[in-house]
Amino acid sequence: MGTIDEDLGQIEKDIRQLKIEYDQYFGGGRKRPPTDIEWRIDLLVKRYNERGGDLKFAQRFRFNNLAQTYAKYKDIFRKKTAMKEEGRLQRHFGAAAKEIEAARARQQQKEEAPAAATGSPAKAFRMICSHPESEPEKVEKLYEAFLQAKQLAGEHTGKLSRSSFNEFVLKKTKELQEQKNCKDVEYVVETVEGQVKLKALVKS
């Protein structure tokens, strides 16, 4: 049995490999679905669902993110396998990952004001967080809003990474909760005089 970080790394690696092999299966390059990899991921996910108390703050956040991603893909795999068995699969599985990204993009477009088209000031993106390790979707939306705001403002984003951003939100939330004795922290992404700002505010 590996360490917790090794196991989380294995889950992440296996999810990537599972996508590749399902891609081959749905495209006709494999005769059978990669159930061995799926079985291995299921075992590790089940193990850490039961051992959640053994995980550190950042490890729990990473695990929740991986488990959520795996659940989404597993649902897509299940539906497409049924379609393949019934002879109704008409397009290549390569679009599966894009389906999740497209849905996320559509949701984000609904939430954001069309500032770029109108020339009006960008609407600030706001998100309240209290337990970021168990709210990966919220942190993901905050990251996407921050990244997009920087891109629209023409700022360099090469050094910005999801992992460092996640770590920042985890530490900042915990730090403010301890310092200010509060439960909720509101994060605000806004563009002020052409510069993108990320603010963390205490909610009473």
Structure token pair of residue 157: 């984003």
- Quote the DSSP letter at residue 123: P
Give the total number of structural domains in the chain. Answer: 2
Quick check: is 106 in a domain?
Answer: no
Q: Considering the domain boundaries, does residue 83 fall inside one?
A: yes
DSSP SS3 for 202: strand
- Flag whether pLDDT at 41 surpasses 90: yes
Same domain, yes or no: 194 and 134 = yes
Q: Alpha-carbon distance 144 to 187, whole Å? A: 13
Provide the pLDDT for residue 108.
Answer: 52
Same domain, 22 and 92: yes
pLDDT at 119: 42
Residue 107 belongs to some domain of the structure: no
Same domain flag for 198 and 158: yes
Residues 17 and 48 in one domain: yes
Average pLDDT for residues 99-104, to the nearest whole number? 56
Do both 85 and 145 map to the same domain?
no
Same-domain pairing of 40 and 66? yes
| Between 89 and 68, the higher pLDDT residue | 68
Over residues 98-106, the mean pLDDT reads: 56
Find the domain containing 167 and state its range. Answer: 112-203
pTM summary value: 0.46
State how far the alpha carbon of 6 is from the alpha carbons of 3, 40, 57, 159, in Å.
5, 14, 16, 25
Report the range of poorest mean pLDDT among 47-61, 95-109, 178-192.
95-109
CB 27 within 8 A of CB 92: yes
